Each structure stands twice: as C-alpha cells, then as structure tokens.
Structure 1
Amino acid sequence: MASRHCLRSIGCYSGRRPLSTQSTETSAPSSAHSLPPDWEESPPSLSDFAELPKDFGKNQLIETNEDFKRSLRGIIRKFPAISYAFAYGSGVFPQSDASASRITHSPHPNPPEAILKWQKGGGKMIDFVFATKFSQHFHSLNLNRHRDHYSFLGALGSGVVSHVQDAYGAGAYFNPYITVDGTMIKYGVVNFTTLQRDLSDWDTLYFAGRLHKPVKILHEEPNIRVANQRNLLSAVRCALLLLPPTFTEKQLYTTIAGLSYKGDPRMDYGSENPKKIDNIVTHQIRNFRILYHDLITSLPNVTYLDQQCFSKPDWMDDTKLDVRMSQDMDIERRGNIVRRLPKSFREKLYFLYQRKFSIPGRDFQEMLDASKDEDAQGVLKKQVGGIFDRRIAAETDLPDMVAKAVHQTVKWPATVQSAKAILTAGPARSWRYLQEKRDKAKQK
C-alpha cells in the first residue's frame, strides 16, 4: 500500500506546462509536478490505471492526428492477445524533411487515406512492437490467423517459434513485409516480462532504447507505463554522465537517442544512415521536449540556462530553439546518479571499475551485496550513492566507461537479434530488408 500511496502523489506529466528554470528534489514533493524521491524504489504492481495518479506518464503519449491513430489501431486489432503495443520509426514520425519526396514507390498496396496523408503522399513501412503475456499462446493464435506472416519456422509450431523468440538475442520475434489493411508493416513480438525487465534494468537496451525516442503508444498497460517512466528518467541520468558541465538541449536528446545504437551492428556495417540519430532529434525536437522536459525538471542537478525563453508559453513549439543547459558536477550528486542507474547496466559499470581498480573478487562481491536494491528481508532500500559510487563519480574517465558499458549492453543482444532474422523472417525477406536499409543509408 505504501508504494501506491507514493505513486498517487506524483504530479502531472502532460508535457505542456510552463517551464520552471531550476529543478529541486526534497524529501517531499515541492510542487504538483514533483516526483516523490522513493517512487522508483517502490514500484507497485498495478491492476488498472485508476491506481496511478491523474496524468502520470502522459508525457509518453505523443500526439498524432486522430485518423492516423485510428488506422494504426485498426491494424493491431488484427492480432491476438496483445497487452501493450506501440508504433515507431520513420513511418510514424519523420526523420527528414525531404524523405517523402525521395520516395518513388510506396510499399503500401492500398493504405487508408489517413496513412497516405500522414506520410505526406509518400510511403514507408510502419514498424510495430507487440507485448504479450504468453508468447506461445500469442504465436499459436497468430499462426492460425496469419500463417503467411511466418517463415519456415511457423511450420514447426508455436512452441519452436516462441522458443526462438524468448531464448535468443533480445527476446524479440520480427515479421517484416506484412500487409495488413493495405498497409505494409513490420511487427515484433516480445514477452511482457522481457519488456518490463528491459525497461527497468536495461538488460539489453533493445526495447528500452526504442522507447527512449518518441513512439506512438496504441495499447497501454499501467505497469509498463510506470516501467517506461523509470526508463526515460534513467536515460536522462545516463546521458548526464556522458555530457560535460554545459551542453545544449539538442546535445542531451542526441545523447539519449544514441544510447541504443552504441554497439548495434547495423551502425558498424553501413546498414543504418550515419546521420540517423541527428535526423531523429532534429525533426522531432518538440516530441522530445514533451517526452523529457518534466523529467528533467524533477532532477536536482540540471538547470536550463536560457531563461529568457521561458517567458514564451509556446516555446516548446519553437523547433529552431536549442536551449543551453548545465549540470552540477558535484561528486556526491553524480554518485547518486551512478547508484540510480538501472540494475543490470549499473553492474556492468561496476565490473569495469573493479578491473580498473584491481579490486579482489571477494571484496568486490561484498560491495555488490551492499549496493543491492533490496535488504536481507527483500525490502527495497533508498538508492543513495555509497563510497564506491562516489569513487566512480570522481573518475575523469567516467564518460568513457559509461559508453563502454552501453556498448557491452547493446552489442551481443543486437548482433544475435540481427542474425536470427535469417530464421524468423526467412532468408529472402531478411536479405531484402538488409539491402533496403543499406540503400537508404547511401541516399542520405
């Protein structure tokens, strides 16, 4: 009950409120928009949205027009047993001013008018992620409805398909080049628990990284909304450890958007546009503000410097504006940031510094035990930086080590996920997808 009480005191996240120029964080909420300091440490188990405070996590609900949203929801209704779903990528939010004009052939056979209008007459395949409580159950139902969506693995049954999904890579199973309602889509399936764990702990950053960027959420679930709010706040903290004392708003969002691309083999081997990250941020700066602004102002160590722009009530709509920002480099505060990094990711950073400091295994294990999120009785502890966290925060190579930990988190799951596309999509479709990615990378 205590954890629910904490959540009920969390303020609004509409993304449209006036800016405060400096954030504060005390033992109790200082305003209607503040986060109680213990909400992350006591995540509840929710049965419905009524148990969340009003407007909590509404920053995640990026707007599109109603007709486009209805078309996307019409597509996901063709699939069974979905607990959470979102659409993402350049087919949903543009990544270039000129992208539509370059398209000479739409991939959509006969799309709804709303999709044609939203994509400005051109056409891009629309990417979806579906989370389901039981992977095998989803694939069993989906194979009965849509056997043609699957490669040869579908002939082996839902048990094999779900095993390939859950056991290898990042826990995703993608079917590309699928036509639904006259629209070309690619959809990935992930187990609900896998998604929730990646958002909270950053096991792979595969799904957490996709949700670091603006997406269109189409089917919601309250526990995922809470987990994703933690994920977004973790992205801000991680970016701060990578950035200098002063930086711009665009630099912050570019750092956040780039986290899940560090170590991604598609970036290393020319399968992604090298300017992709910059394009995402440049053309979605307003959506990034909606997604992150209230979270930024909830942190005690980040300040907006360009205070003259705060008098403009519509400043968030000014896409030419690049606000200057600063962060407090105090060792204690940065130690708290280290301590509040997601669990799996934080342990990778700890191991990197164990090797650097040559800490014996037994001593290091004692430190890990002392830094666990729970005490011996399983009660969650307050996440305050300890001696080891502050020692890490004092190191000048911290940005390099954080970047290395991100690379380690992303590389293997992303590599295996890309490799297993040969099985899940089939050789022909996976080769087509790779070639189209490379062609688009060369064009830009």
Structure 2
Amino acid sequence: MVLQSLQSSGVVIRQILSHFPEELSLAFAYGSAVYRQTGPSAAQKNPMLDLVFTVDDPLRWHSRNLEKNWSHYSFLKVLGPRMITTVQNNYGAGVYYNPLIKCDGRLIKYGVISTSVLIEDLLTWNNLYIAGRLHKPVKIVTMNENTTLKAALDKNLKSAVNAAFLMLPESFSEEELFLEIAGLSYSGDFRMVVGEDKTKVLNIVKPNIVHFRWLYGSILQENPQVVYKMHHGRLELDKSPEGQFAQLMALPKTLQQQINHIMDPPGRNRDVEETLFKVANDPDCSAVVRLGLSAIVRASSVKQSTKGIFTAGMKKSVVYSSLKLYKMWSGWLRKS
C-alpha cells in the first residue's frame, strides 16, 4: 500500500529519519511510495521508499552514520568515512546511495549529497541528477533556513519551465507541459533503454497533475511569456524568435554550453549568446535543446550507475537492477 499518510503529515518518514544523524540541510522523499503512480509501481504493496539527505559536512555525517548504521554500507566502509566522502563528491553525480536498506520494517534507498554540490546542480544543471528529481513533486520532510538553497530550489523549477517551453508548441495543455518537465532528466538516460519502464514519465504525471500544478502554478502565472488559463488547463506561449531567445538565455549554464557545443562548428569559436540567438531563429530549436539535455543526462546517468556498483556492492547492485528490469518487463506486458 502506498504511504498515503506521507502526503499529509510525513510521520512515517520522520520516524525513519530518527535512525540517521540529524545534521540535514534538506531531506525529501520521492517516487511511488510517496506519490501514487500508474503502471507497474501501482501494483506494488510496499514500494521501496526513496530518500535524499542533503548535508553541509558529508565527512562528519558519514562518520556518524557509520557508527549508527555500519551495515548500510558496502565494502567501502572499511576504507573509512573520508574515502566514502571522496567517492560521493568526486565521482558520478555527487550523490552516494545506499539501496535496499531495511528500516522500521520498510525497504528504503537513501542518497547523501553535499549542500554545495546540490546547489551547483540546481543552478547550473551540471549533472541534472538530483536537480531533475526535484523537477517532480517530492515530499520535503525537513529543510533548514539556508536561503541560498531555497533560492536555488526555486531557480531550478523556473529553469525546468523554460526548458520545457522551448520544446512545446504555441498552444498546449497542462499535462503536456508537465510531461515535458518530468521528462527533462530522463532525456538521454541509458536506463530508459534498459532498466526502466518506457511509460515511466506518463505514469508519474498522469495521477499527479494536482501536485505538479501546486509546484508550478505560481511560476506560470508570473511568467510574462505565457498565458496560463488555469481553469481550462491550457497555456498559450510566445514562440517568436525573441521569446525563444529570452528562454534560451534563462537556461542553466551547462545546458547553454552544451547547445553551443552542438551548434558551433570546429574553429568557429562562436560565443554562447551568439549561438543562442541563432538557435532561437532555428526551426529545429526544440531538437537542439533536447540534444543538449541528453548530453548532460547521458554522462551523469552512466557515471552514477557505474559508481553504484561500488557504493551499493555487487550483490545489492544485482538485486536492485533485477527489480528495475522486472518493472520494465511488467510495463511491456501491460502494453501488449
């Protein structure tokens, strides 16, 4: 049964958090255990609870967590908290996951990421990994008074809207917009070819329109480039070259650089603004943006998945991959 109580009080998650060190700048839960999904996940009675812990001092946090939860870690624990922190910060997408953990009778997976690393991802999309998780509704359980982090979380949502606008026509529905937003962090993810249900994005969005609307409603109402007819669930967008240029200029730095790399022939050395102006006038603007997103996500998903073999350990990696493949297979069976 999906943890419906999480949507109101978060009591269950708070109880789980009591087993971990308290120094968290942000903790949130996501996935089918928090928000109902259609597809294979809907059939699971007790889906795994996915959590992310953001910490200011990963070395201190892992040191304390090893004392409390030694069994959660792979063989890397014998190398100590400094090595775990190095692996977390310097490889993959900057997050360290411990999957398939039994806690208070529930199966959980939790990732640990440095506050500074998360802020960089939220602002620049250098990995679009945890930033991409935060494009979708999540259950925030705890958050401290870090104003820089709060501003970065807000900027990440506005960036998601801008990127989605560039891939949509002049008129579209709320659902079409939210499908584009939810799909940003899956563009180019090799796991969508092997390991994930192909209808994953639709399964996330369709039963959660109200939660997406809560997340993005005020951003859409305040955006001067779109007319948001909330009562009709429709939007009208400025698709002029000037409008697209403004959206391109508002994209995170890494995506702008990827677009520049795609469009700039060897030896031309065009600056980013010049390239974005050219793309804004290009009929294939949406395709170029999608290619840029794919380049970011492909690299981070491959690196993070490879890193997972070491952070989870071989046995857990095999079990976790098998669960993903089962969900993908179930999705195929439902479609056939």
TM-score, structure 1 as length reference? 0.70
**1:240-255 correspondence to structure 2 within 5 Å:** 240-255=165-180
Match for residue 417 of structure 1 among 291, 304, 307? 304
SS in 2 for 1:272: coil
**Paired letter, 1:163:** T
Deviations 1:172-192 (A, max 9, x none): 110011122222110001111
**1:21-36 correspondence to structure 2 within 5 Å:** none
Is 1:151 matched with 2:74?
Answer: yes
Is 1:277 matched with 2:201?
Answer: yes
**1:254-403 correspondence to structure 2 within 5 Å:** 254-269=179-194, 271-304=195-228, 309=231, 323-355=233-265, 360-361=268-269, 364=270, 367-368=271-272, 388-403=275-290
Cα distance, 1:360 vs structure 2? 2.2
Q: Are 1:175 and 1:186, in contact at CA under 8 Å, matched by a contact in 2?
A: yes
**Paired letter, 2:218:** D
For 1:326 and 1:94, locate their aligned partners in 2 and report how far apart those are by CA, in whole Å: 29
SS in 1 for 2:197: coil
- Which sections of structure 2, spanning at least 5 residues, go unmatched? 1-5, 332-336
**1:166-181 correspondence to structure 2 within 5 Å:** 166-181=89-104
Partner residue of 1:124?
Answer: 47
Q: Are 1:336 and 1:389, in contact at CA under 8 Å, matched by a contact in 2?
A: no
Q: Are 1:83 and 1:219, in contact at CA under 8 Å, matched by a contact in 2?
A: yes
Cα distance, 1:304 vs structure 2? 3.2
Deviations 1:140-167 (A, max 9, x none): 1111111100011101101111111111
**Paired letter, 2:190:** P
Q: Are 1:125 and 1:186, in contact at CA under 8 Å, matched by a contact in 2?
A: yes
Match for residue 74 of structure 1 among 15, 19, 22? 15
For 1:329 and 1:265, locate their aligned partners in 2 and report how far apart those are by CA, in whole Å: 31
SS in 2 for 1:79: coil
Deviations 1:178-237 (A, max 9, x none): 122222110001111110010011101001100000000111133222111100010000
Partner residue of 1:319?
Answer: none
For 2:285 and 2:219, locate their aligned partners in 1 and report how far apart those are by CA, in whole Å: 23
**Paired letter, 1:343:** K
Q: Are 1:97 and 1:283, in contact at CA under 8 Å, matched by a contact in 2?
A: no
Q: What is the number of residues matched between the two proteins?
A: 323
Q: Are 1:258 and 1:277, in contact at CA under 8 Å, matched by a contact in 2?
A: yes
Q: Are 2:39 and 2:203, in contact at CA under 8 Å, matched by a contact in 1?
A: no
SS in 2 for 1:93: coil
**Paired letter, 1:412:** A
For 2:300 and 2:40, locate their aligned partners in 1 and report how far apart those are by CA, in whole Å: 33
- Mark the structure with the bigger radius of gyration: 1
Divergent runs of 4+, >6 A:
none
**Paired letter, 1:324:** R
SS in 2 for 1:242: coil
Identity among equivalent positions (%) equals 37
**Paired letter, 1:413:** S
Deviations 1:241-286 (A, max 9, x none): 01111221111100100010111121021x1110110011101111
Deviations 1:23-48 (A, max 9, x none): xxxxxxxxxxxxxxxxxxxxxxxxxx
Q: Are 2:40 and 2:327, in contact at CA under 8 Å, matched by a contact in 1?
A: no
SS in 1 for 2:264: helix
Q: Are 1:345 and 1:406, in contact at CA under 8 Å, matched by a contact in 2?
A: yes
**Paired letter, 1:288:** F
TM-score, structure 2 as length reference? 0.92
**Paired letter, 2:80:** G
Partner residue of 1:234?
Answer: 159
For 2:267 and 2:281, locate their aligned partners in 1 and report how far apart those are by CA, in whole Å: 17
Structure 1 residues 137, 440: CA separation in 2 closer, same or farther (over 3 Å shift)? same
RMSD: 1.7
Q: Which has the higher helix share?
A: 2
